[in-house]
Amino acid sequence: MLAFAVVSILIFSNAGHAQGRYASTYSRNQVSDIIKRAENSSDKFRTDFRNQMDRNNNLSGSQKAQFNNNVANCEDSLDRLRRRFDSENTWWNTRNEVQNVISSSQNVNTMMNILPFRRNLERQWTSLRNDINTLADTYDLPGLNGGGWNGGPWNPGNPGGGGGGNVPNWARGTFYGRNPETGGTITMTVAQNGSVTLVFDGGAPSYATMNGTILQNGPYRSRVSRINNGIRTTDTRNNSYIDYFRNGGGGPIGGSVPSWAIGTFYARNPQNGGRIVMTVNQNGSVVLTYDGTNPTYATISGTLLTNGPYTSRVTQIRNGIRTTSTSDGSAIDYYRQNR
């Protein structure tokens, strides 16, 4: 879970009347056109994505099915939005359906950020993501990769940005952390006046504020504390945290992976005897699938594997790799061929 959930989707209740920044600006037909653009982008993306999965020989059948299902869920949510929109007289009443579109698109966004795809497919996803973020902005919702509506850049006269200031010297500057949702990188820049800029996985910037050692991002609040060469943000609701470092190489950011550790590996799940599939990319991003369920994400920096709060050392074995837990010494052997 994120210590402050910029990428999390906020659920708002719909009122019986139109609200929001664009309530008196956009007509129903204009909003319908925005939805139509997203529908068209989604239709093309799903067709081309399915075709690429059919040609991909590096993924297992269960992985292909899961990835195709992620894309299908995104398209289905847009279809549901269209049906509800056509049945409503007030376009704001479909805000919950737009939120569902953003939620269902998050798995696709994570997948596209982590896994390598053909450039034309990546361009199509960028176009679709922009259309979804336009929808999010229209309905005053945060979108994908920091897009959509996040309250706007910080300034004293902007109530969406909140107030900040009195930031300690050790909390000022640019820091890098690992995105626990995707395994990618979060870049956070904290200014002396308390304005905070966040970039998730190389996407569009979003904005927050820091007042003293309290980080406020919309409804999410975190305590900021000092650690070696960086800072820690701790969610005030559930105490989950993210560590940020001034030097990306000094923190839990992936990279510098040895060639023998790159590729797709298979192992037996010691918990239930099932199968673990682990794909390690050159940039240090890691995709893990346990027993054919939804993928989870981790990172490898050098030979250190970080998966949430767990770390393991990675060593080379014949035709594979071994992960050894740094906490209890337990090991799992992974092989390039499924056994």
Q: Which helix (H) or strand (E) holds 119?
A: helix 119-138
Amino acid at 89: N
Q: Which helix (H) or strand (E) holds 77?
A: helix 61-87
Q: Rounded distance, CA 97 to CA 306, Å?
A: 35
Assigned CATH topology for domain 259-335: Lipocalin (2.40.128)
Q: Rounded distance, CA 278 to CA 287, Å?
A: 6
Which tens digit of pLDDT belongs to each residue from 147-183?
A: 777 654 433 333 333 445 788 989 988 888 877 766 6
pLDDT at 153: 41
Comparing C-alpha atoms, which of 18, 11, 22, 19 is closest to residue 137? 22
Q: Rounded distance, CA 29 to CA 35, Å?
A: 10
pLDDT at 249: 41
Domains of the chain, by residue range, sit at: 28-138, 169-250, 259-335
pLDDT at 308: 66
pLDDT at 86: 95
Q: Rounded distance, CA 240 to CA 234, Å?
A: 6
Q: Rounded distance, CA 34 to CA 6, Å?
A: 24
Q: Rounded distance, CA 297 to CA 182, Å?
A: 6
Amino acid at 319: N
From first CA to last CA, the distance across the chain in angstroms is: 33
Assigned CATH topology for domain 28-138: de novo design (two linked rop proteins) (1.20.1440)
CB 172 within 8 Å of CB 179: no
Compute φ and ψ for 176, nearest 5 degrees: -130, 130
pLDDT at 10: 32
Amino acid at 324: T
pLDDT at 256: 79
Q: Residues 6 or more apart from 194 whose CB is under 8 A from it? A: 154, 163, 164, 165, 166, 167, 209, 210, 211
Q: Rounded distance, CA 304 to CA 120, Å?
A: 33
CB 303 within 8 Å of CB 258: yes
pLDDT at 286: 83
Task: Judge if 169-250 and 259-335 fold alike in CATH terms.
Answer: yes
pLDDT at 253: 58
Q: Residues 6 or more apart from 33 whose CB is under 8 A from it? A: none
Q: Rounded distance, CA 189 to CA 175, Å?
A: 6
CB 316 within 8 Å of CB 308: no
- Counting as low any pLDDT under 70, the low residues of the chain are 1-19, 114, 146, 150-164, 181-184, 218-219, 247-255, 308-309, 339
The pair of three-digit structure tokens given for residue 176, joined into one six-digit string: 């890098």
The string of DSSP codes covering 139-178 is TT-B-STT-B-SS-S--TT-TTT---B---GGG-EEEEEE
pLDDT at 47: 92
pLDDT at 151: 56
Q: Rounded distance, CA 124 to CA 98, Å?
A: 20
Q: Is 91 exposed, middle or buried (0-12, 13-18, 19+ CB in 10 A)?
A: buried
3 state DSSP class of 235: strand
Number of Cβ within a 10 Å radius of residue 213: 17
Q: Rounded distance, CA 311 to CA 314, Å?
A: 10
Q: Rounded distance, CA 295 to CA 90, Å?
A: 38
Residues found in the chain: 339
Please give the CATH architecture assigned to the domain spanning 169-250: Beta Barrel (2.40)
Prediction pTM value: 0.49
The pair of three-digit structure tokens given for residue 285, joined into one six-digit string: 């991003």
